[in-house]
Amino acid sequence: MDVGIFGPEKSGKTTLFCLLSGVSFDSVVSKHEPNRAVAEIRDPRLDKLQEIQNTEKKVYTTLNLVDIPGFPAACPAREKNRIMQNLQGSDALLAVVRAFRSEIVSWPEVGKSAAAQLESISAELLLRDMEVVSNRLQRIEDQVGKRKLTAEEEKERVLLRNVSEQLDQERFAGSLSPESDERRLLASLSLFTCRPVVVAANLDEDQYSARDYPDRELVMKSCEERGFGYVEVAGRFEMEVLELPLEERELFMNEAGISGSCFERLHDTIYKHLDIITFFTFNEEEVRAWQIEQDTTAKQAAGKVHSDLMDHFIKAEIISYEDFVNCGGIHGAREKGLAKIAGKDEIIRDGDIVRIRANA
């Protein structure tokens, strides 16, 4: 899955990119070009499974990250477009807003609260989409009077007008019903406002400990209204903590009232917001985690592993993570009758350990 990180200048995007990917901040050389990295989702459940299965290899799921530089308000449109282009392939967006205070780190958007930054971010996304929709509409309308529009084009014209009205009213395209024709068309246009957005409020340590910063309520409310996910992080502080010896880290995190790493909170929020869950497989060589959407069936999950397994699917043996661990592995779970033999329509749940039987 591809996640695009964006937001105002100096809000801490690259800091979060480094925290998510494990790339060191000092090694990120370019301040003007996007940074890319693959972040492993180091799910501790997979570590436990490896311990039980005693395999040499484990394969985590991953997020492909792209971190784009913030651009100043006066940035020429062409340059802005060029930078934004790097978000085009992302399945989800992580928008970073700045609440932390600093005398050292410049703040080009001085005085702009986190809520105001969020408004600008939404406006930017809406504007980009309006442009795409209106260009497409224009192309169809240019034909009017020159030739008869096809039935397809007529339909598209109506849909595009509807979407355009929605965007004019600052309603996100993603709020259209997923079943609607509009939504299908929008998916083909890969609009930004159709994509899941998670907002990360980047706080300083004191704000984090106090669970407060100016406009916090407003930011949370506006995320809720727009259907954005929301997470709080203390980017710089958590990066500094990572430089400490392992045994001191927890102490500092506890003192600041921060539980779980920034990395865990970020990817948990992204996964939850995107309705993504994880299931596990194992064989003699490896244990492996897989990302799937909620409500994926056993047969579809088999397809994730290999298309042959889906095509020749017979049944799946499913054990919940807790049962697997409590019984010390598959044999124990089978003995206790906790390994379920399931058909193709069984819904996979988060943490399930799945063994697929197919007609090879």
Ligand X SMILES: Nc1nc2c(ncn2[C@@H]2O[C@H](COP(=O)(O)OP(=O)(O)OP(=O)(O)O)[C@@H](O)[C@H]2O)c(=O)[nH]1
Q: Which residues bind Mg ion (CB under 5 A)?
A: 13-14
**Residue in this structure with the two tokens 């500094």, named with its chain if needed:** 240
**How many angstroms separate the first and last alpha carbons of the chain?**
29
Instruction: Give the span between the Cα atoms of 174 and 4, in whole angstroms.
Output: 17
Does the protein bind ligand X through residue 12 (CB under 6 A)?
yes
Instruction: Give the span between the Cα atoms of 26 and 263, in whole angstroms.
Output: 18
72 or 227: CB nearest ligand X: 72
> Minimum distance between the CB of residue 45 and ligand X, rounded to whole angstroms?
29
Q: The sheet that has 35-41: what strands, in order across it?
A: 35-41, 61-67, 2-6, 92-98, 197-202, 229-233
202 binds, options Mg ion, ligand X, none, Cβ within 5 to 8 A by partner type: ligand X
Interface pick for ligand X out of 3, 4, 15, 281 (rule CB under 6 A)? 15
Q: How many CB atoms lie within 10 A of CB 193?
A: 26
Closest CA relative to residue 320, chosen from 280, 271, 276, 267 = 280
Give the binding range for ligand X (CB under 6 A) out of 43-51, 98-106, 271-279, 291-299.
98-106
Site string for ligand X, 221-250 (x = CB under 6 A): -------------xxx--------------
Closest CA relative to residue 58, chosen from 357, 304, 282, 321 = 282
Closest CA relative to residue 301, chosen from 283, 325, 277 = 277
Interface pick for ligand X out of 2, 9, 264, 286 (rule CB under 6 A)? 9
Does the protein bind ligand X through residue 263 (CB under 6 A)?
no
> Minimum distance between the CB of residue 8 and ligand X, rounded to whole angstroms?
7
14 or 86: CB nearest Mg ion: 14
Instruction: Give the span between the Cα atoms of 86 and 360, in whole angstroms.
Output: 41
HSE-up (13 A, CA, CB side) for residue 92:
23
> Minimum distance between the CB of residue 304 and Mg ion, rounded to whole angstroms?
33
Site string for ligand X, 47-86 (x = CB under 6 A): ----------------------xx----------------
Q: Which residues bind ligand X (CB under 6 A)?
A: 9-15, 31, 69-70, 100, 102, 105, 202, 204, 234-236
